[in-house]
């Protein structure tokens, strides 16, 4: 294995599968199967999931809801997704722990760094819910913050495209893919990899990102094995 400890970032939208809203159980199951395969190979795995398939804080402002209130609603959406993934993994025999940045004792542990690291050392999958616990921060930023705290080797950003392109490949057929690119180059080219706070944290802490297609079966295992899948963003 090329990596021993990783953080996997999934968007909430990815859980929708073919649906327009909510969670597609088939897609959820496929992700759980992929995750189980790498965990069985001894990879220590932390996961952060967005909540965009249920609610986005930005949507709240458009509907007249205060931004801070809306962001907290979005954090709760990430916990719902985290619970769904936890259930799917445990149905497959994968031991997990769900930690939330907002206390919800009945359904998950509070986020405690030392405890999370210990779970990883025991090969439990740790899912981090509720973002950073603060408004105005995205789950991209939360995933990078947790990755740094967990001292992972790489952040894997699972998307529906197979890397970073010169333009949106779904709109521009002439777009070409970057095999690897530096943080500085990605910033100068205004490539939308992660939000700027997350991006800066990665750069300052020399934490590489691999953007890859999570929807293609076997891709997660191939990335972990060191195959050149997707796009590597590095310092």
pLDDT in tens, 158-187: 998 899 999 888 788 888 999 999 999 998
pLDDT in tens, 127-145: 999 999 999 999 999 999 9
* Residues 163, 87: Cα–Cα separation, whole Å: 29
* pTM reported for the whole predicted model: 0.95
> Which residue numbers in the chain have pLDDT < 50?
none
As assigned by CATH, the class of the 5-234 domain is alpha beta
Q: Report the pLDDT value the prediction gives residue 61, as an integer from 0 to 100.
A: 73
Distance between CA 46 and CA 231 in Å, rounded?
A: 20
Residue 142: predicted pLDDT: 98
Q: Taking the CA of residue 111 as centre, how many other CA atoms within 13 Å lie in the half-sphere pointing to its CB?
A: 18
Supply the pLDDT for residue 117.
98
Note the pLDDT of residue 176: 93
DSSP bridge partners of 180: 232
CB burial class (10 A; 0-12, 13-18, 19+) of residue 121? exposed
What's the pLDDT score for residue 104?
Answer: 97
CB within 8 Å of 223: residues ≥ 6 apart? 156, 210, 212, 229, 230
DSSP letter, residue 5: E
* pLDDT for position 203: 94
């Amino acid at each position: 294995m090329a990596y021993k400890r990783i953080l996997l970032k999934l968007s909430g939208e990815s859980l929708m599968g073919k649906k327009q809203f909510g969670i597609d159980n088939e897609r959820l199951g496929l992700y759980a199967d992929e995750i189980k395969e790498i965990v069985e190979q001894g990879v220590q795995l932390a996961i952060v999931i967005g909540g965009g398939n249920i609610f986005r804080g930005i949507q709240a402002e458009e509907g007249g809801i205060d931004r801070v209130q809306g962001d907290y609603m979005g954090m709760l959406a990430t916990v719902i997704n985290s619970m769904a993934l936890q259930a799917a993994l445990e149905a497959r025999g994968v031991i997990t722990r769900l930690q939330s940045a907002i206390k919800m004792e009945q359904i998950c542990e509070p986020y405690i760094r030392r405890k999370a690291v210990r779970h990883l050392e025991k090969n439990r999958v740790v899912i981090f819910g509720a973002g950073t616990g603060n408004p105005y921060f995205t789950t991209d930023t939360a995933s990078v913050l947790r990755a740094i705290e967990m001292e992972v080797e790489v952040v894997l950003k699972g998307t529906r495209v197979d890397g970073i392109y010169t333009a949106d490949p779904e709109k521009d057929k002439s777009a070409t893919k970057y095999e690897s690119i530096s943080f500085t180059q990605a910033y100068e080219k205004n490539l939308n990899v992660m939000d700027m706070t997350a991006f800066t944290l990665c750069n300052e802490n020399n934490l590489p990102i691999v953007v890859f297609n999570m929807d293609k079966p076997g891709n997660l295992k191939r990335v972990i094995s060191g195959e050149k899948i997707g796009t590597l963003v590095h310092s």
